[in-house]
Structure 1
Amino acid sequence: MKKIVQVSFFVFGMVILSFQSIAQCAMCRASVENNVSNGETSIGAGLNTGILYLFTMPYLIAAVIGYFWYKNAKNRRLKELANPYLRRKNSIV
Structure 2
Amino acid sequence: MKKLIFALALSFLLLGQLLVVAPAQAQCVMCKAQVEAAKAENDDYDVAGLNKGIVYMMIVPYILMGAIGYFWYRRTHPKRATAA
Name the TM tier (shorter chain): 0.3 to 0.5
Larger radius of gyration: 1
Higher helix share: 1
TM-score (norm 1): 0.44
TM-score (norm 2): 0.48
